[in-house]
Amino acid sequence: MSAQLKGKAIIFSAPSGAGKTTIVRHLLGIPDLRLSFSVSATSRSMRENEQDARDYFFLSPDEFRTRVRLGDFLEWEEVYHNQLYGTLRSEIDRIWSEGRNVIFDVDVVGGISLKNHFGTTALSVFVQPPSIEVLEHRLQNRSTESPDKIAMRIAKARHELTFAPRFDMVLINDNLEQALQDAEESVRKFLHT
Protein backbone atom coordinates (compact mmCIF):
# COMPACT_ATOMS: atom_id res chain seq x y z
CA MET A 1 0.00 0.00 0.00
CA SER A 2 1.42 3.40 -0.93
CA ALA A 3 1.95 6.04 1.76
CA GLN A 4 -0.57 8.48 0.19
CA LEU A 5 -3.29 5.86 0.54
CA LYS A 6 -2.79 5.47 4.26
CA GLY A 7 -5.61 7.06 6.26
CA LYS A 8 -6.04 7.27 10.02
CA ALA A 9 -7.66 4.88 12.47
CA ILE A 10 -10.16 5.49 15.28
CA ILE A 11 -10.59 2.70 17.83
CA PHE A 12 -13.62 2.49 20.16
CA SER A 13 -13.50 -0.04 22.99
CA ALA A 14 -15.58 -0.59 26.12
CA PRO A 15 -17.46 -3.24 28.03
CA SER A 16 -20.55 -4.47 26.21
CA GLY A 17 -23.49 -2.08 26.72
CA ALA A 18 -21.37 1.04 27.35
CA GLY A 19 -22.58 2.64 24.11
CA LYS A 20 -19.82 2.05 21.52
CA THR A 21 -22.17 1.05 18.72
CA THR A 22 -24.42 4.09 19.33
CA ILE A 23 -21.45 6.48 19.32
CA VAL A 24 -19.72 4.87 16.33
CA ARG A 25 -22.96 5.01 14.28
CA HIS A 26 -23.29 8.71 15.09
CA LEU A 27 -19.72 9.40 13.92
CA LEU A 28 -20.26 7.40 10.72
CA GLY A 29 -23.15 9.75 9.91
CA ILE A 30 -20.90 12.85 9.83
CA PRO A 31 -19.75 13.04 6.18
CA ASP A 32 -16.69 15.30 6.52
CA LEU A 33 -14.98 12.93 9.00
CA ARG A 34 -14.72 10.45 6.07
CA LEU A 35 -15.06 7.45 8.38
CA SER A 36 -15.82 3.89 7.25
CA PHE A 37 -16.59 1.04 9.62
CA SER A 38 -14.24 -1.92 9.74
CA VAL A 39 -16.65 -4.85 9.59
CA SER A 40 -15.31 -7.56 11.90
CA ALA A 41 -15.86 -11.29 11.59
CA THR A 42 -17.63 -13.17 14.38
CA SER A 43 -18.78 -16.68 15.15
CA ARG A 44 -21.71 -15.50 17.31
CA SER A 45 -25.22 -15.77 15.89
CA MET A 46 -26.84 -12.85 14.09
CA ARG A 47 -29.26 -10.60 16.03
CA GLU A 48 -32.66 -9.75 14.58
CA ASN A 49 -31.72 -6.23 13.47
CA GLU A 50 -28.32 -7.20 12.04
CA GLN A 51 -27.18 -7.85 8.47
CA ASP A 52 -24.32 -10.02 7.26
CA ALA A 53 -21.40 -7.97 5.84
CA ARG A 54 -22.84 -4.74 7.30
CA ASP A 55 -22.66 -5.39 11.06
CA TYR A 56 -20.33 -8.40 10.96
CA PHE A 57 -19.22 -11.13 8.61
CA PHE A 58 -21.01 -14.00 10.37
CA LEU A 59 -18.88 -17.14 10.14
CA SER A 60 -19.21 -20.62 11.62
CA PRO A 61 -16.55 -21.43 14.25
CA ASP A 62 -14.83 -23.69 11.65
CA GLU A 63 -14.81 -20.96 8.99
CA PHE A 64 -13.46 -18.51 11.57
CA ARG A 65 -10.59 -20.83 12.55
CA THR A 66 -9.71 -21.40 8.89
CA ARG A 67 -9.42 -17.63 8.39
CA VAL A 68 -7.18 -17.47 11.52
CA ARG A 69 -4.87 -20.10 9.96
CA LEU A 70 -4.79 -18.17 6.68
CA GLY A 71 -3.52 -15.10 8.58
CA ASP A 72 -6.53 -13.00 7.55
CA PHE A 73 -6.89 -11.28 10.94
CA LEU A 74 -4.87 -8.34 12.27
CA GLU A 75 -6.13 -9.36 15.72
CA TRP A 76 -8.76 -11.77 17.00
CA GLU A 77 -10.11 -12.75 20.42
CA GLU A 78 -12.42 -15.28 22.02
CA VAL A 79 -14.28 -12.35 23.59
CA TYR A 80 -16.84 -14.64 25.29
CA HIS A 81 -16.81 -18.40 25.67
CA ASN A 82 -17.06 -19.91 22.16
CA GLN A 83 -17.67 -16.48 20.61
CA LEU A 84 -14.79 -15.41 18.38
CA TYR A 85 -14.36 -11.91 16.96
CA GLY A 86 -11.62 -10.60 14.68
CA THR A 87 -10.43 -7.61 12.65
CA LEU A 88 -9.90 -8.47 8.98
CA ARG A 89 -6.78 -7.03 7.35
CA SER A 90 -8.78 -6.74 4.11
CA GLU A 91 -11.15 -4.19 5.72
CA ILE A 92 -8.34 -1.73 6.48
CA ASP A 93 -6.87 -2.11 2.97
CA ARG A 94 -10.32 -1.55 1.43
CA ILE A 95 -11.11 1.55 3.50
CA TRP A 96 -7.71 3.22 3.14
CA SER A 97 -7.61 2.50 -0.60
CA GLU A 98 -10.88 4.46 -0.86
CA GLY A 99 -9.11 7.44 0.78
CA ARG A 100 -11.15 7.14 3.98
CA ASN A 101 -10.37 6.74 7.70
CA VAL A 102 -11.16 3.47 9.41
CA ILE A 103 -13.20 3.21 12.62
CA PHE A 104 -13.21 0.08 14.81
CA ASP A 105 -15.63 -1.17 17.49
CA VAL A 106 -13.67 -3.86 19.33
CA ASP A 107 -13.28 -5.26 22.84
CA VAL A 108 -10.70 -3.74 25.19
CA VAL A 109 -7.97 -6.31 24.48
CA GLY A 110 -8.47 -5.91 20.72
CA GLY A 111 -8.41 -2.12 21.14
CA ILE A 112 -5.02 -2.22 22.87
CA SER A 113 -3.63 -4.58 20.17
CA LEU A 114 -4.84 -2.30 17.38
CA LYS A 115 -3.38 0.79 19.08
CA ASN A 116 -0.02 -1.02 19.44
CA HIS A 117 -0.16 -1.89 15.75
CA PHE A 118 -1.12 1.56 14.41
CA GLY A 119 0.76 3.78 16.91
CA THR A 120 0.25 7.49 16.32
CA THR A 121 -1.87 6.77 13.22
CA ALA A 122 -4.65 5.75 15.63
CA LEU A 123 -6.73 7.40 18.37
CA SER A 124 -7.91 4.85 20.94
CA VAL A 125 -11.04 5.74 22.92
CA PHE A 126 -12.36 3.90 25.96
CA VAL A 127 -16.11 4.43 26.45
CA GLN A 128 -16.92 4.39 30.14
CA PRO A 129 -20.43 3.84 31.54
CA PRO A 130 -21.38 5.81 34.68
CA SER A 131 -21.52 2.55 36.73
CA ILE A 132 -21.86 -1.24 36.45
CA GLU A 133 -25.53 -0.93 37.53
CA VAL A 134 -26.26 1.45 34.64
CA LEU A 135 -24.44 -0.89 32.26
CA GLU A 136 -26.60 -3.79 33.39
CA HIS A 137 -29.81 -1.74 32.87
CA ARG A 138 -28.68 -0.77 29.37
CA LEU A 139 -28.07 -4.40 28.43
CA GLN A 140 -31.44 -5.39 29.89
CA ASN A 141 -33.21 -2.62 27.96
CA ARG A 142 -31.38 -3.50 24.73
CA SER A 143 -32.94 -6.98 25.05
CA THR A 144 -30.51 -8.61 22.62
CA GLU A 145 -29.02 -11.16 25.05
CA SER A 146 -30.54 -13.74 27.38
CA PRO A 147 -30.24 -13.09 31.16
CA ASP A 148 -27.34 -15.59 31.46
CA LYS A 149 -25.46 -13.91 28.58
CA ILE A 150 -26.04 -10.51 30.23
CA ALA A 151 -24.64 -11.88 33.49
CA MET A 152 -21.56 -13.14 31.57
CA ARG A 153 -21.05 -9.70 29.98
CA ILE A 154 -21.43 -7.88 33.33
CA ALA A 155 -18.96 -10.21 35.05
CA LYS A 156 -16.44 -9.48 32.33
CA ALA A 157 -17.14 -5.72 32.42
CA ARG A 158 -15.73 -5.37 35.95
CA HIS A 159 -12.33 -6.54 34.68
CA GLU A 160 -12.57 -4.58 31.41
CA LEU A 161 -13.09 -1.28 33.27
CA THR A 162 -9.56 -1.59 34.71
CA PHE A 163 -8.14 -1.21 31.15
CA ALA A 164 -9.33 2.41 30.74
CA PRO A 165 -5.96 4.08 31.56
CA ARG A 166 -4.30 2.22 28.66
CA PHE A 167 -6.29 4.19 26.08
CA ASP A 168 -5.49 7.60 24.58
CA MET A 169 -8.71 8.95 26.08
CA VAL A 170 -11.67 7.98 28.24
CA LEU A 171 -15.10 9.13 27.06
CA ILE A 172 -17.80 9.08 29.74
CA ASN A 173 -21.15 8.01 28.31
CA ASP A 174 -23.68 9.20 30.87
CA ASN A 175 -25.70 11.84 29.04
CA LEU A 176 -25.80 10.56 25.46
CA GLU A 177 -26.00 13.96 23.74
CA GLN A 178 -22.91 15.13 25.64
CA ALA A 179 -21.01 11.92 24.83
CA LEU A 180 -21.81 12.23 21.11
CA GLN A 181 -20.64 15.83 21.10
CA ASP A 182 -17.41 14.99 22.99
CA ALA A 183 -16.71 12.05 20.67
CA GLU A 184 -17.16 14.19 17.56
CA GLU A 185 -14.93 16.95 18.90
CA SER A 186 -12.09 14.57 19.86
CA VAL A 187 -12.19 12.64 16.59
CA ARG A 188 -12.32 15.83 14.54
CA LYS A 189 -9.31 17.25 16.40
CA PHE A 190 -7.32 14.02 15.93
CA LEU A 191 -8.09 13.74 12.21
CA HIS A 192 -7.15 17.34 11.54
CA THR A 193 -3.77 17.32 13.33
Of 44, 65, 94, 156, the residue at the interface with ligand 5GP (CB under 6 A) is: 44
User: Distance (Å, rounded) from C-alpha 96 to C-alpha 163?
Assistant: 28
* Strand, coil or helix: 140: helix
Q: In what helix (H) or strand (E) does residue 89 lie, and over which residues does it extend?
A: helix 89-97
Closest CA to 190 of 106, 108, 103: 103
Size of site (CB under 6 A) for ligand 5GP? 14
84 scored as a contact of ligand 5GP (CB under 6 A): no
DSSP assignment, residue 165?
G
Residue 171 touching ligand ADP (CB under 6 A): no
Instruction: Give the binding range for ligand 5GP (CB under 6 A) out of 85-93, 134-142, 167-175, 185-193.
Output: 85-93
Q: Which of residues 142, 158, 159, 189 is near ligand ADP by CB under 6 A?
A: 142
155 sits near ligand ADP (criterion: CB under 6 A)? no
Instruction: List all residues 6 or more positions away from 10 whose beta carbon is below 8 Å from its beta carbon.
Output: 27, 35, 101, 102, 103, 104, 122, 123, 125, 187, 190, 191
List residues binding ligand ADP (CB under 6 A). Answer: 14, 16-22, 138, 141-142, 173, 176, 179
List residues binding ligand 5GP (CB under 6 A). Answer: 16, 20, 40, 44, 75, 77, 79, 85-87, 105-107, 110
